[in-house]
Amino acid sequence: MKKTGNYDFDAPVDRGGTYSMKWDKYKGRDVIPLWVADMDFLSPPAVIDALNKRVNHGVFGYTLPPQELNDIIIGVMENEYGWKIRKEWIVWLPGLVTGLNVVCRAIGEDGDDVLTAVPVYPPFLTAPGYSRRNIIKTDLAEIDGEWRFDFERLEKAVTKKTRLFLLCNPHNPVGRIYSMDELSTIASICIRHNIVISSDEIHCDLLLEPGKRHIPIASLSLEIADRTITLMAPSKTYNLPGLGCSFAVISNQGLRKNFTAAMNGIVPRVNTLGYAAAIAAYRDSHGWHEALLDYLRENRDLVITSVNRMPGLSSRKIEATYLAWIDTRPSGIKDPVKFFEDAGVGLFDGNEFGTPGFVRLNFGCQRSLLKKALERMAMAVKKHAESKF
Ligand SMILES: Cc1ncc(COP(=O)(O)O)c(C=O)c1O
């Protein structure tokens, strides 16, 4: 069995009996679930040890944000991104989607517009409506084989009522890590139109492209930080989404006050196990994290090569995340999700990301399972292509 460092990401893990959202969707059916974004790997050993220790204590009362964790976050932001943040800027949240919805309620008034670029993670598209705002969508463009912002189109989409821009960086589902230039241009458009930026950076530690680094948009300048709410979490990287622990970083006191006011009475505290796991993840899991990225890089390469060999299917470069965004439109497959489910693979529907004809594939799983899923897909697509002649 191939090991990456001391960690065996090839070892199968049976997730049956854990009420896994990902696996139970297809319970009793021979469908490999590669849809929702959690990974099939064990969390880092340090996290499992910390949780065992906390569970063995046996009392699970209301828990304050640990000072130790705030200090760890401050250190990570400075060391990884050269971004100096203060403890008072951190607002703990029981989920990042909660943060997206709180942002929409905290900024502007009922009836205002919220702008985002599609395809994008589905809660970006639903949060504005839940908060009595209107969603305005602009399309990302495919330029020179990669997904980019079309800045002219983005600025044209701004209305008089646009108060908030929802950015996803790295971008789920297209896997882009935005450059300093791209982020500066986005920020200058937002400054010109007095728009607050909500920057979802949950995938910031899942960088697969050598030489590329993550830049928090708020770290670009004080002026940009002043209009930005950054949302982060250890959940994607360390595979802890069931523990509900994430945070916002908001340097502008007024914005922070509006944000916490929108949380009042509705948003619960972070649970005690989430905090214990977050400390061990950020502080004690570097080796595991590096090994994970190596494993994911190989999975990514396998997905890109295999998908681009399937007639009528294509996937662009994936710089970050463990998600592949697959264009099925040239294949003529009518309902791609159903088509691949019938072939034994469960994918996420592009419609929900604002872009029909695409599917999203989660490659955060054991390579043998991924290979099996890709073989099933290849066989079905080949049959479909042959049936057209
Ligand atoms: C961009 C993005 N934001 C937020 C989330 C989910 O955050 P949470 O589970 O903390 O609500 C995901 C999960 O896939 C995501 O991709």
How would DSSP label each residue in 173-239? TT-----HHHHHHHHHHHHHTT-EEEEE-TTTT-B-STT-----GGGS-HHHHTTEEEEE-STTTTT
Single-letter residue type at 337:
V
pLDDT tops 80 at residue 4: no
- Where b means 16+ CB within 10 Å and e means fewer, 126-136 reads ebbeebebebb
Cα of 202 from ligand 1 centre, angstroms: 7
Indicate the average pLDDT of the chain. 97
Nearest CA to ligand 1 atom 7: 96
Residue 180 pairs in a beta bridge with none
| Other beta carbons less than 10 A from residue 259's beta carbon | 22
Helix count and strand count (H, E) for the chain: 13, 15
**Structure confidence at residue 389 (pLDDT):** 66
Tokens matching residue 126: 């639903």
Taking the CA of residue 245 as reference, the ligand 1 atom at the shortest distance is 10
**Structure confidence at residue 123 (pLDDT):** 98
Nearest to 256 by CA among 149, 63, 35, 99: 99
| Other beta carbons less than 10 A from residue 332's beta carbon | 11
In the chain, where does DSSP find H-type helix?
21-24, 45-57, 67-81, 96-106, 123-130, 151-157, 180-192, 222-225, 253-263, 272-284, 286-309, 336-342, 367-387
**Structure confidence at residue 5 (pLDDT):** 62
Cα of 383 from ligand 1 centre, angstroms: 35
Cα of 337 from ligand 1 centre, angstroms: 21
Distance linking the first and last C-alpha atoms of the chain: 42
**Structure confidence at residue 6 (pLDDT):** 79
Q: Which of 97, 167, 363 to mutate to test the pocket of ligand 1 (most atoms within 8 A of CB)?
A: 97
Nearest CA to ligand 1 atom 14: 37
Q: Is the dihedral of CA 154, 217, 238, 242 positive or negative?
A: negative
Cα of 18 from ligand 1 centre, angstroms: 20
Tokens matching residue 352: 């929900």
pLDDT tops 50 at residue 2: no
Burial of 175 (0-12, 13-18, 19+ CB in 10 A): buried
The reply to whether omega before 173 is within 30° of 0 (cis) is yes
| Mean pLDDT across 81-93 | 97
Report residue 1's pLDDT band, with 50, 70 and 90 as the boundaries.
Answer: very low
Predicted confidence (pLDDT) per residue in 272-308, tens digit: 999 999 999 999 999 999 999 999 999 999 999 999 9
Predicted confidence (pLDDT) per residue in 221-251, tens digit: 999 999 999 999 999 999 999 999 999 999 9
**DSSP character for 61?**
-
**Structure confidence at residue 3 (pLDDT):** 53
**Structure confidence at residue 144 (pLDDT):** 87
3-state helix, strand, coil in the chain (%, to 5): 45, 15, 40
Report residue 344's pLDDT band, with 50, 70 and 90 as the boundaries.
Answer: very high
pLDDT tops 70 at residue 168: yes
Predicted confidence (pLDDT) per residue in 8-34, tens digit: 999 999 999 999 999 999 999 999 999
| Mean pLDDT across 253-258 | 98
Question: Could you give the CA distance from residue 268 to residue 95 in angstroms, rounded to a whole number?
Answer: 10
Q: How large is the angle between the packed helices 67-81 and 272-284, nearest 10 degrees?
A: 40
Q: How far is CA 34 from the centre of its chain?
A: 15
What is the pTM assigned to this prediction?
0.97
Q: Which of 39, 93, 96, 167 to mutate to test the pocket of ligand 1 (most atoms within 8 A of CB)?
A: 96
Ligand 1 pocket, CB under 6 A: 37, 95-97, 121, 168, 172, 200, 202, 233, 235, 241, 246
CA atoms within 13 A on the CB side of 270: 27
Cα of 232 from ligand 1 centre, angstroms: 9
Contact 282, 234 (CB under 8 A): yes
